[in-house]
Structure 1
Amino acid sequence: MLRRIPYGDHDLILTLFTPDHGKISVFAKSARKDARRFSGTLEPLSVLKVVLKTRSGNLSLLSEAVLVDPLATIRTDLRKTAYASYWSEIAGIVPEEGAVQKPNGYPLLHQALTALDRDMMDKAVLHVLFQLKFTRLSGFFPELTHCQTCRTHLDDVSPRGLAVDILSGGLICGDCVSRTLGPYRLSKGAVKILLWLETADILKASRIRFTRDLLEECACFLEAFLPHHLGHAPRSLVFLKHIRNRKKEGCSYHVG
């Protein structure tokens, strides 16, 4: 369950993210009035098993809800909440018409939230990993192995002046960067981390230590790249950046 909104004096409108139908809204009648009926079940970011009754011309009616996994530590940790809110919003975005493909983000989101709740790996690494996997799932993973202009391979590119073209999603070497509008500067180390993590799973990624500066660089790039290609600016990203800046983890890399 992504969120709940009070409706009238006794009811709730719930936003659910489902394996088969993506993001949907349902009506929970008397959910606030009858505390015993859904006691402790309808909490944001909980994993539920639900039974719905369809109604012609109206939201489906929530008939039953069973708590499968509360993912409780996410709601008690502000930083975890910020990450989970951003991932949930990203996964629930319906791509614009003409997008490469419409991803089914449910399995990835479920896996990421479970890992976040259980502290299975560093939160910053998991944040980069989720965005990379969703980018690949959506069909617009950036081309980072060679310069898109001169075709020089990453291994042979000078680390000086390296960038990625946000619009095309291609790597730009320092010799070609002046021909690109709005290049996003990335270090060679960050590019190599992105390429490595793209092929890694949670277990493999949890065993490797990355420098905090490089993780921050990767995260900030993906937070610019992913929303641009989804055609949507997530409101939850503002909250995430606010929490990160409070902990002095703000993005220091920029376009241009």
Structure 2
Amino acid sequence: MSLLDNKVAYVSGGGSGIGKAIALCYAREGAKVALSDINEDHGKAVVDEIIKNGGEALFILADSSKAEDNERIVKEIVAAYGRLDVACNNAGIGGQVAITGEYAIDAWDKVIALNLNGVFYACRYQLVQMEKNGGGSIVNMASIHGTVAAPMSPAYTASKHGVVGLTKNIAAEYGQKNIRCNAVGPGYIATPLLDENLDEETKAFIASKASMNRLGKAEEIAELVVFLNSDKSSFTTGGYFIADGGYTAV
């Protein structure tokens, strides 16, 4: 039996990188998959791949930084599949690279709007539906920078610390309602987001700082997310699980 048989699962930012890997892993583990992205071509391509492999999937074009889009996403999932059991709020951006005293106000607002506000909006509407279901499991995508600094990225660091705190609050509030909420903190993963923000020399340097001496793979994060979303982790809530190849161990 697969880990997510008879479940309806959702992932934001599912068109590429970690989000795509999560969507594919959800499908492989038996879930009906809904995914959202701001890139329609990428999102539809992932849905096509899932269907080609015998799964069932739905793409929703949406901006995760907008409250109304997050509300609409849940409504569309329920209209299509009748319920929502599992979610991973993954969409995020790195933002401007600058020290805090020189960080642009609009750049700060953009990062917080997606990385923190967007996660809150998603949880806000997912929780209402999961209560109607009688339970559910949410995984919020944080980062190792939910616990350590990312110099030159104050908005990213602040947003990811906020995601960890929000996750703990939800776990405390909804534990008796059969809804679990955990956060995952990836280290540096080989994804388009990393490629857009770092050159090859910097990526090699960062990889060397992890005790495993490499960047992570999106699929490695997806496997952890699916475990936390599944009944295999039924007594686990309010946790913050770092997967960074040993980057923060030293």
Q: TM-score, normalised by structure 2?
A: 0.24
Of Structure 1 and Structure 2, the greater helix share is in 2
Q: TM-score, normalised by structure 1?
A: 0.24
Structure ranking higher on relative contact order (CA contacts 8 Å, 6+ apart): 2
Of Structure 1 and Structure 2, the greater strand share is in 1
